[in-house]
A and B are shown apart, each in its own frame.
Chain A
Amino acid sequence: MAKRIETVELSCFYGKTKAVDDVSIAIEPKSVTAFIGPSGCGKSTFLRALNRMHEVVPGARIEGQVLLDDEDIYAPEIDAAAVRRTIGMVFQRPNPFPTMSIYDNVAAGLRLNGLRRKSELDSAVERSLRSANLWDEVRSRLNKPGAGLSGGQQQRLCIARAIAVEPQVLLMDEPCSALDPISTLAIEDLIFELKDRYTIVIVTHNMQQAARVSDVTAFFTLRGPGEPGYLVEADTTQKIFTNPSEKRTEDYITGRFG
């Protein structure tokens, strides 16, 4: 069920400016991979290129390949919407649909992709909300607007919405950056549980978080202001945090570098 992602010399552009330079990395199924690196080094850009969300930005394009179980997701006959159903995404800022109730938010992906049967929707909504550790908090008010939840609850609602369509890979862009420590812990627990079934990639600025939740850590950086970001190294989290191969990684992790 969980799938493997591999990029081959992937570069990302906004118009003429290159934001990510020549990244080759393999992301193993049923593992958690953390992307770390200084602000502006292209973590979000690279992450969005993995499920073809990058091309939603006007003028944005990529060079190179992204392989999902050896299938090139940028091949001309591939449908971007189908790719995104397989590779789900949670954004940095919670973005529930404001016109929809909690129930409708979670059911949105299924409904918009054609599932109609009430019983199936009901069970999918409950299952997703339980997975996202939100069910107990909202079970009595499923018909209230999703925008009326707290920030942390909204973020878990967005996670529930993303896993409701049963993707095989889940991309998370700083999912905890707006959350308190308790909600953060809830989401980290959640990542731990989801790991059994999904391939997970998480972008984070929090070193402890990367160390806690991830199996593999990839360190990105840029050579200077205005330069594109690149991948310095990717290795098991334990190795990156105790004995990295590159000096730059060590400097960043120990805080000797911006």
Chain B
Amino acid sequence: MTADASSAGLRSRGLTARTLPRPVVAGAALAAVAVTFLLFAVTPLQGVADFLVAATVLAILTVTGLTLAVEGRRRAVDRLATSGALIALVLTLLPLGFTLGYTAYRGTKRLTGNFLTHSMAGVGPFSPNGGIYHAIVGTLEQVLIASLIAVPLGLLVAIYVTEYGRNAFGTAIRFLVDVMTGIPSIVAGLFVLAFWVLALHKGFSGFAGSIALAILELPIVVRSAEEMIRLVPAALREASYALGVPKWKTILRIVLPTAATGITTGVMLAIARVTGETAPVLLVVGNNFYINTNPMKGPQASLPLYIFQGAGSSSNLDVDRAWAAALTLILIVVVLYVAARLLTRRNSLRR
């Protein structure tokens, strides 16, 4: 009785609205798709892409129109915006999905234990054997050394810029890091080629590649770590200072642990970025069909280079191996990423 009275009161004040049941909305969208299908069947319209676009547009128009008629303007705009966001999401995920899916499809054909544990030593042009062990070793070593240089250096720069760099020097560094972010990878490669490989007569080596990769990795680490450190609330720093903890200890024990998860993500993205870099390794690492575990001496192989050469080959055997190598590269990055996330997850408390 009271419920009736109050709902009548609400209705008279326009606070209730007619709503479309969900199945009706879904039905309308399906009907739009069906109509499009008919159109494509009887008229000269054709093509899969055309069909998808036409069906999507028609479905959105139908649902929005229906909503406008039944539920009013506000709900119609809401539906329209929701559809827009959904389409943007699909368009963003589509290339990613296709890249991963197709690489997995082509790559799994050759990805065997044997492939992962053998090099290309003595593999003839018509032999389906051979593998990428030498390239995996090369890539892991080059990226590891590059990260050993770039990550600590980048973190220190980020700490300096955020915590101490409130002066002209700090501003200059921030500007230089911005400039470094824009260095094309081929330029970093050329620099190392001219300076390290040729002028200093060091020759091709995995280490030369590491230098070039470190140059590319450094600004990414600095930028992401800087953002994360800035996100740590000032109140936490003040709480630490108020306990009589000196500034450097506050940074080390309070600020960095609080920002750790974000910093790790940034570092992993930086590592993932340079793991796939082809141009610098192409220029300064040389190439090698054999296993060379010494990054300091002699040419090394690497996965991006292996993929680059295999993909450009006229032999289908090489192309298949390149796909398998590409899949391996993706898997390595994924494994690194997941491992890093688990590691920081364990260290930071959950609610």
Partner-B contacts on A (CB < 8 A) = 51, 53, 56, 58, 81-86, 88-89, 91, 93, 95-101, 108-109, 112-113, 145, 147-148, 158, 161-162, 165
Nearest 7 CB-CB pairings of A with B: A85-B244, A109-B243, A89-B242, A95-B235, A84-B244, A145-B349, A112-B245
A101 interface neighbour in B245, B254, B349, Cβ under 8 Å:
B349
Assembly CA distance A66 to B264 (angstroms): 43
Do A81 and B244 contact each other (CB < 8 Å), given the known contacts A98-B236, A112-B249? yes
- Asked if A56 and B241 sit within 8 Å, CB to CB, the answer is yes
Assembly CA distance A101 to B349 (angstroms): 8
Could you list 8 examples of A-B contacts with CB < 8 Å?
A: A81-B246, A83-B244, A91-B242, A95-B233, A95-B238, A97-B258, A98-B258, A112-B250
- Asked if B244 and A97 sit within 8 Å, CB to CB, the answer is no
Which residues of A lie under 8 Å from residue B249 when comparing CB positions? 112
Which residues of A lie under 8 Å from residue B246 when comparing CB positions? 81
Which residues of B lie under 8 Å from residue A83 when comparing CB positions? 244
B50 to chain A, nearest CB (A): 53
- Asked if B243 and A85 sit within 8 Å, CB to CB, the answer is yes
- Size class of the contact patch on chain B: 20 to 34
Assembly CA distance A108 to B253 (angstroms): 10
Assembly CA distance A56 to B240 (angstroms): 12
Assembly CA distance A51 to B250 (angstroms): 17
Assembly CA distance A161 to B239 (angstroms): 9
Number of A-B residue pairs, CB cutoff 8 Å, is: 77
Which residue of chain B has the shortest Cβ distance to A83 in the bound complex?
B244
Known: A85-B244, A145-B351. 16 other contacts (CB 8 A): A51-B242, A53-B238, A81-B241, A81-B245, A88-B243, A91-B235, A91-B239, A95-B239, A97-B254, A109-B243, A109-B245, A113-B243, A113-B244, A145-B350, A148-B351, A162-B243
Which residues of A lie under 8 Å from residue B245 when comparing CB positions? 81, 109, 112-113
Contact with A along B324-351 (1 / 0, CB 8 A): 0000000000000000000000011111
- Asked if A97 and B243 sit within 8 Å, CB to CB, the answer is no
- Asked if A88 and B349 sit within 8 Å, CB to CB, the answer is no
Partner-A contacts on B (CB < 8 A) = 166, 233, 235-246, 249-250, 253-254, 257-258, 260, 347-351
Assembly CA distance A169 to B40 (angstroms): 83
Assembly CA distance A34 to B113 (angstroms): 75
Which residues of B lie under 8 Å from residue A145 when comparing CB positions? 349-351
Assembly CA distance A158 to B239 (angstroms): 9
Which residue of chain A has the shortest Cβ distance to B246 in the bound complex?
A81
A88 to chain B, nearest CB (A): 7
Which residue of chain B has the shortest Cβ distance to A111 in the bound complex?
B253
Do A53 and B351 contact each other (CB < 8 Å), given the known contacts A99-B257, A99-B258? no
Which residues of A lie under 8 Å from residue B236 when comparing CB positions? 95, 97-98
Which residues of A lie under 8 Å from residue B240 when comparing CB positions? 97, 108, 112
Assembly CA distance A96 to B243 (angstroms): 12
- Asked if B350 and A165 sit within 8 Å, CB to CB, the answer is no
Which residue of chain B has the shortest Cβ distance to A158 in the bound complex?
B239
